[in-house]
Amino acid sequence: MKICQTLIAMALIAIVQLNAAVEVFSADDANIIEMDIRSDNKGEILYGTFKYSGSSYISFLGTLSEDDYGNNVSVQNKFGDDWRYTGDWVIGGRDGQHVVKFDVKSDDNGKTLNGTMSYTDEGEIRVRAKRSNGVAYAVHTHHGGPILPGGVWVLGNRGDRQQYLVEIDIHSNDDGKTFSGTVTYAGEGPVPFRATHVAINSYRGEVYFGDDWHSDGDWLIGSRDKRAVMVSAKSTDGGKTMSGIMEYLGEDPQGLEVRVSGSSAYTVENQWGSTDSPWSAGGVYVLGDRQVTVPSAAPQMPGKVVAWGGWRVAELPKGLNEAIAIAGGKWYNLALKPDGTVVGWGGGQPENNFIPEGLSGVTAIALGYEHGLALKQNGTVVVWGKESITLNRDLPDGLSNVVAIDAGSFHNLALKEDGTVVAWGTNRSGQLDIPAGLSGVIAIGAGRSHSLALKGDGTVVAWGGNEEGQTDIPAGLKDVIAIAAGNEHNLALKRDGTVVAWGSNKNVFGEQGQAKVPAGLSDVTAIAAGSFHSMALKQDGTVVAWGSNDFGETVIPDGLSNVTAISAGEQTCLTLVSIPAATHSANVTNTIGMEFKLIPAGKFMMGSPESEEGRSSDEDLHEVQLTQDYYLGVTEVTQSQWQQVMGTTPWKGEERAKEGDDYAASYISWNDAVKFCEELSKKEGRTYRLPTEAEWEYACRGGSTTRFYFGDNASELDHYEFYFDSTANSASIVKQKKPNGFGLYDMIGNVKEFCQDWYTKSLEGPVTNPTGPASGTRRVMRGGSFATRVDNCRSAYRGVKEDLDDREAYYGLRVVLVPDKSSDALTSNKDSEVITLDQAMNLFVGKWKANHEEFARMNGIDLTKLDKDSLDRLKKEISEVSLEIDKQSVEAMRVEKIDGKNSFRLINKSNDLDYLEIQFLTRNRILFKGRDGSPDFPLDRIDKEGQIVK
194-240 pLDDT, tens digit per residue, is 888 766 667 777 877 777 787 776 677 776 666 778 878 787 776 66
End-to-end CA distance of the chain: 23
In sequence order, which residues have a C-beta less than 8 Å from that of residue 309 and are 6 or more positions away? 551, 552, 553, 569, 571, 572, 573
pLDDT: is 467 or 386 the higher one?
467
Q: Is 283 helix (H, G, I), strand (E, B) or coil?
A: strand
Q: Where are the beta strands (DSSP E) in 408-542?
A: 411-416, 421-425, 441-446, 450-455, 460-464, 480-485, 489-494, 499-503, 506-507, 510-511, 524-529, 533-538
Taking CA atoms, 555 is separated from 471, 530, 531, in Å, by 29, 14, 16
Residue 898 neighbours by CB distance under 10 Å: 13
Contacts (Cβ under 8 Å, ≥6 apart) of 276: none
Contact 271, 277 (CB under 8 A): yes
| The pLDDT value given to residue 141 | 63
Cα four-point dihedral sign 885, 891, 896, 901? positive
pLDDT at 186 over 50: yes
How does DSSP assign 843-876, residue by residue? HT-EEEEE-HHHHHHHTTB-GGGS-HHHHHHHHH
Which secondary-structure segment (H or E) carries 497?
Answer: none
Q: Please, which pLDDT band fits residue 851 given cuts at 50, 70 and 90?
A: confident
Give the model confidence (pLDDT) of 714-725 as tens digits.
888 888 889 887
- Does pLDDT of 699 surpass 90? yes
Residue 155, CA atoms < 13 Å, CB-side half-sphere: 32
Indicate the pLDDT class of residue 591, thresholds 50, 70 and 90: confident
- Quickly state the pLDDT bin for 8 (edges 50, 70, 90): very low
Q: Give me the mean pLDDT over the 458-469 stretch.
A: 94
**Dihedral angle at the C-alpha atoms of 15, 37, 364, 766, nearest 10 degrees?**
-30
More confident residue, 172 or 674: 674
Question: Which percentage of the chain shows pLDDT scores above 90?
Answer: 30
pLDDT exceeds 50 at position 6: no
* Mean pLDDT of the 47-75 span: 69
Entry field: residues in the chain: 950
- pLDDT (tens digit, 9 = 90+) per residue, 142-172? 555 555 555 666 666 554 444 567 788 888 8
CB-CB contact of 74 with 90 (8 Å):
no
Do the beta carbons of residue 798 and residue 616 sit within 8 Å? yes
More confident residue, 731 or 315: 731
Q: Is the pLDDT of residue 103 over 70?
A: yes
Taking the CA atoms of 921, 926, 932 and 935 in sequence, report the sign of the dihedral they define.
negative
Q: Which of 336-340, 370-374, 674-678 has the lowest mean pLDDT?
A: 336-340
Identify the helix (H) or strand (E) that includes residue 193.
strand 188-199
Please say whether the beta carbons of 306 and 286 come within 8 A: no
Residues 813-840 have a mean pLDDT of 62
Q: What is the mean pLDDT of residues 931-937?
A: 57
Distance, in Å, from the CA atom of 420 to the CA atom of 746, rounded to the nearest integer, reads: 34
Nearest CA-CA partner of 262 in 107, 88, 94:
88
Say yes or no to pLDDT of 25 above 50. Answer: no
Closest CA to 176 of 234, 247, 93, 243: 247
Asked if 716 and 749 touch (Cβ cutoff 8 Å), the reply is: no
Q: What does the pLDDT look like over 348-385, one tens digit per residue? A: 554 445 788 889 888 899 998 888 999 997 889 999 88
CB 372 within 8 A of CB 355: yes
What one-character DSSP code corresponds to residue 316? P
Mean pLDDT of 605-623: 90
- Between strands 767-768 and 622-626, the pairing is parallel
pLDDT at position 158, please?
Answer: 52
- Tell me how far the alpha carbon of residue 724 is from its chain's centroid: 31
Of 258 and 17, more confident: 258
Beta strand 752-758 with 811-812 is: parallel
Q: Give the residues across from 223 on adjacent strands.
A: none
Residue 886 has pLDDT above 60, yes or no: yes
How far is residue 734's CA from residue 721's CA, in Å, rounded to a whole number?
10
Q: Reduced to 3 DSSP states, what percent helix, strand and coil does the chain have, rounded to the nearest 5?
A: 10, 40, 50
User: What does the pLDDT read at residue 483?
Assistant: 96
pLDDT at 581 over 50: no
- CA nearest to 87, candidates 136, 40, 130, 134: 136
Q: Is the pLDDT of residue 179 over 60?
A: yes
Query: Which segments within 539-641 are labelled E, that is strand?
Result: 543-547, 563-568, 572-578, 587-589, 595-599, 602-606, 622-626, 630-633
* Positive or negative: CA dihedral 433, 435, 436, 439: negative
The mean pLDDT value of the chain amounts to: 79
Task: Give me the helix-helix angle, 670-684 and 639-646, nearest 10°.
Answer: 70
The pLDDT value recorded for residue 947 is 79
What structural domains does the chain harbor?
Answer: 2-6+828-942 (2.40.310), 24-132+264-297 (2.40.128.450), 134-262 (2.40.128.450), 303-578 (2.130.10.30), 585-821 (3.90.1580.10)
Q: Are 295 and 308 in contact (CB under 8 A)?
A: no
Contact 904, 840 (CB under 8 A): yes
SS3 197: strand
More confident residue, 508 or 406: 406
Confidence of residue 651 (pLDDT cuts 50, 70, 90): very high
pTM for this structure? 0.48
Q: So what's the pLDDT on residue 829?
A: 34
* Section 846-852 average pLDDT: 82
Amino acid present at 789: R
Q: Confidence class of residue 316 from pLDDT cuts 50, 70 and 90?
A: confident
User: Phi and psi at residue 838, in whole multiples of 5°?
Assistant: -65, -40
